[in-house]
Structure 1
Amino acid sequence: MVSESVHSGANVIRILFAGALILTLVILGFSLIGGANAPAPAGAVLLNTAGDPAGYARAVEPWDWQFPVDFGAHPEFQTEWWYYTGNLATEEGRRFGFQFTIFRRSITPAVEATESEWRTNQVYMAHFAVSDIADQRFFHESRLVRGAADLAGAVLTPNYRVWLEDWGISGLNPEATLTQIQARGGEFALNLTLEQTKPPALHGDDGLSAKSDQVGNASYYYSLTRLLTRGEVRIGEQTYSVTGAAWKDHEFGTSALGEDALGWDWFGLQFDDGRELMVGQIRLLDGGKDPYFGGLLINADGSTRVLPADAIVIDAQGSWTSPHTGATYPAGWTMQIDVGTAAPLVLEVTPLMADQELHDGGIAYWEGAVQIAGSATGYGYAELTGYADSLNGRF
């Protein structure tokens, strides 16, 4: 799908999308647990997009991280995603942004043994988007399949690989420090090689990222915050050679947000001085902010500083109303971040184009390329949820 508009001026928890898989499966009218043609089970248990957490592992204490093993799947948890975003440019300076995400969702804690290659308790969904900044065009597509018959999955042998049909991320060496993303939509495509330059950055308490004060409302969360990227972007019949930097988020857990959550604003920012910053806020139904989700500063040498929620002030600037959903999103942000130095980071974050809303996957959200000015300069990505649809009661 293409969102196209012309403007006079030039956006972590992503459990809602994985939860929305369950409702989609019911609409499609088939059971992944049964055979290929089995009907949806009576009682419509799957209509509960939150899913029953009983029988799944919960994120309650710090994880014993082992890489590259933890680049792979964690099926004992209900939900997982591998999230890649990045900013790219040609030698001439033509800019592109991209998002490539694969979600895994378990619909039961276990699957019965069977000879059928179609039987599974796992479903996979992928979102793929490219922002063509010069022409102010936004391309996006989504796919949903069962995790069976080699249609989708996540493996570590012979190398790291996460895929959905012919879209995927593949490790090019055993350590998965060099990876490749390949995806092709109707009018757009990516073929990129990504090189890891820093160790995994662990969010929260050694990777345990709390989302509310309720025990277990958390995820295990790490990021690869600067992946040197090169390859090709295709728009229509034109192919562009590009370089730039990408960011990977990988999270897994069984539940995340509190009952009073409305949505969230997430930012992955890459500074020209070699640092990166993840900040976010969970917006509550009463207009407040959840005090349990903060941020992380990644220094040029890979060392990190955890940022509590009260160290982060994010103020929305202006607004943009989607012609697709009617939702109104912020048109930019000012940020003041206490990073432990004499003066705080003061940033202005502006979308590289306004229309970067994904609106064809059942739940609409905004995910797009942004530019950074102020105490630091650079580029990044922003994700905004709960503006078109409240997340409350969705999972």
Structure 2
Amino acid sequence: MRFNMLQRNRPTKYRRRFFSSLLLMSFFGAILGIWAYSSYSADVDEKAGNEVNSILVNEHFNVFEPVLPGRSVALPRDFQFHPEYQHEWWHYFASLKDDRGKQYSVQWSFFRVATDERETPGWQSPQIYISNIVISSESKVWKEQRLARGGIGQAGMTNGPFRIWIDNWSWRGLGNTPFPGRLHVKTDSFGLELNTVTKGPYVLNGDNGYQKKHDLLPIASYSFSAPFLSLSGVLNLDGVAKKVAGTAWVNKEWGSGLLGMGQQGWDWFVFNLDDGTALSISRYRHNKQLPYVFGTLATRSGQVYQLTESDISMKPLKKTTLFNGKRMPLQWVISVPKYEINLTTRIKRKDMWLPFVIPYWEGPITANGSHNATGFMQLTGY
């Protein structure tokens, strides 16, 4: 009773701050619970919710900016953050070789999620930041995750020059875009410094950057890619510095509710083909509905071909049981007959389940068939 009386007598703004703090604590508690669950659980029932859609489905009581087809993505403007939307996600995939020809893969993600729609500074900021780094070779995987809240300087973004950071991990650009720029990550056992420049055009996915993800529901995001990147730098692995060089692919996506109710997750593939083109294919899976399939084929000369379900064939060949009991389709046949593309994928490592707060299988793949290709596969919601 005393607690209720005290709360009733406080001004509205203090009550709002109080409940906002409770919401933030609940969010972190849910995140930690999901993290522990995903680390040790077996398969999630296909008819039930899962670790991914519990975070990425928009809550009905929050009011964020909607994703609408009339708004086109514009660069360099949309390299900046969009706090009026609920989610924002950067992906960086790199394929590298050292001086001796040994191959390495780098996966870096930077994710922002808002617990509510307010734009308040300091400890009242509703922004949560999550970043993951994964480096893999033929013999070992290095990985780490960072979580931070916005508003207190621990994580965020600035423009002019471009910079996004969480703790001592950062991406810095020389101007108001990430390119040319440097990705810098340091942990207790490994780190990297990679300088990245563009070697081809940016690609707007979907309809000028508006990407639908469901036939009937208003589920969509804004999305663009930089699939033609060149890089050089240093990997520091277990105390040994290795000079490396290679190629990279960056994708940025933002919106409010990246999944709709009943959506279970997605299967996403990015390829650099041996003819110089870049291919991205996505399949969003639904409960009791056919999946929604889309993609983008881009050339270095600036031609972009948007692909729909009628253009794409995706067939998982078999399911593989992971160490944690999850069964996942790790080998696929992907075809785009209209452009004479037929690829059979192969993983480089089986043990690429990432038990982060947003858990998924993600790792480097190769493909052969009509083309030879290298790329990455991300499978969520299993």
Please give the TM-score of this superposition, normalised by the length of structure 1.
Answer: 0.80
The equivalences for 1:217-256 within 5 A come to 217-256=219-258
Shift in Å at residue 218 of structure 1?
0.4
Shift in Å at residue 65 of structure 1?
2.9
Question: What residue in structure 2 maps to residue 386 of structure 1?
Answer: 381
Question: What residue in structure 1 maps to residue 354 of structure 2?
Answer: 358
* Alignment-mate amino acid for residue 357 of structure 1: W
Q: Assess if the C-alpha contact under 8 Å between 1:314 and 1:336 holds in 2.
A: yes
Separation in 1, partners of 2:219, 2:171: 28
Separation in 2, partners of 1:275, 1:315: 22
Query: 1:30-59 CA deviation, whole Å, 9 max, x = no partner?
Result: xxxxxxxxxxxxxxxxxx744435431111
Could you tell which deviates more after superposition, 69-78 or 197-206?
197-206
Greater helix percent: which structure? 2
Separation in 1, partners of 2:374, 2:70: 31
Separation in 1, partners of 2:327, 2:75: 40
Shift in Å at residue 140 of structure 1?
1.5
Separation in 2, partners of 1:69, 1:52: 28
Corresponding position: 1:294 with 2:290: no
The equivalences for 1:8-157 within 5 A come to 24-26=27-29, 49=55, 50-52=57-59, 54-112=62-120, 117-133=122-138, 135=139, 137-157=140-160
Corresponding position: 1:377 with 2:372: yes
Corresponding position: 1:329 with 2:328: yes
Q: Assess if the C-alpha contact under 8 Å between 1:225 and 1:276 holds in 2.
A: yes
Secondary structure of 2:143's counterpart equals strand
Could you tell which deviates more after superposition, 70-79 or 312-321?
312-321
Secondary structure of 2:318's counterpart equals coil
Q: Assess if the C-alpha contact under 8 Å between 1:131 and 1:138 holds in 2.
A: yes
Structure 1 residues 197, 289: closer, same or farther in 2, change over 3 A?
Answer: farther
Please give the TM-score of this superposition, normalised by the length of structure 2.
Answer: 0.82
Secondary structure of 1:326's counterpart equals coil
Q: Assess if the C-alpha contact under 8 Å between 1:212 and 1:256 holds in 2.
A: no
Separation in 1, partners of 2:26, 2:218: 23
Q: Assess if the C-alpha contact under 8 Å between 2:222 and 2:254 holds in 1.
A: yes
Separation in 2, partners of 1:22, 1:355: 32
Structure 1 residues 283, 176: closer, same or farther in 2, change over 3 A?
Answer: closer
What is the aligned-residue identity percentage? 27
Shift in Å at residue 312 of structure 1?
1.1
Structure 1 residues 371, 216: closer, same or farther in 2, change over 3 A?
Answer: same
* Alignment-mate amino acid for residue 277 of structure 1: L
Separation in 2, partners of 1:146, 1:200: 30
Q: Assess if the C-alpha contact under 8 Å between 1:281 and 1:289 holds in 2.
A: no
Structure 1 residues 333, 351: closer, same or farther in 2, change over 3 A?
Answer: same
Shift in Å at residue 22 of structure 1?
8.1
Q: Assess if the C-alpha contact under 8 Å between 1:216 and 1:255 holds in 2.
A: no
Secondary structure of 1:26's counterpart equals helix
Q: Assess if the C-alpha contact under 8 Å between 2:163 and 2:178 holds in 1.
A: no
The equivalences for 1:195-344 within 5 A come to 195-214=197-216, 216-286=218-288, 289-291=290-292, 293-323=293-323, 325-338=324-337, 340-341=338-339, 344=340
Shift in Å at residue 129 of structure 1?
0.7
Query: 1:63-107 CA deviation, whole Å, 9 max, x = no partner?
Result: 333322211101111110111111111132211111111111111
Shift in Å at residue 349 of structure 1?
1.2
Structure 1 residues 97, 109: closer, same or farther in 2, change over 3 A?
Answer: same
Could you tell which deviates more after superposition, 310-319 or 227-236?
310-319
Q: Assess if the C-alpha contact under 8 Å between 1:232 and 1:241 holds in 2.
A: yes
What is the alpha-carbon root mean square deviation over aligned residues?
2.1
**1:349 aligned residue (345, 348, 351):** 345
* Alignment-mate amino acid for residue 347 of structure 2: P
Shift in Å at residue 214 of structure 1?
4.1
Question: What residue in structure 2 maps to residue 393 of structure 1?
Answer: none
Q: Assess if the C-alpha contact under 8 Å between 1:197 and 1:228 holds in 2.
A: yes
Structure 1 residues 51, 176: closer, same or farther in 2, change over 3 A?
Answer: closer
Question: What residue in structure 2 maps to residue 367 of structure 1?
Answer: 362
Separation in 2, partners of 1:22, 1:140: 26
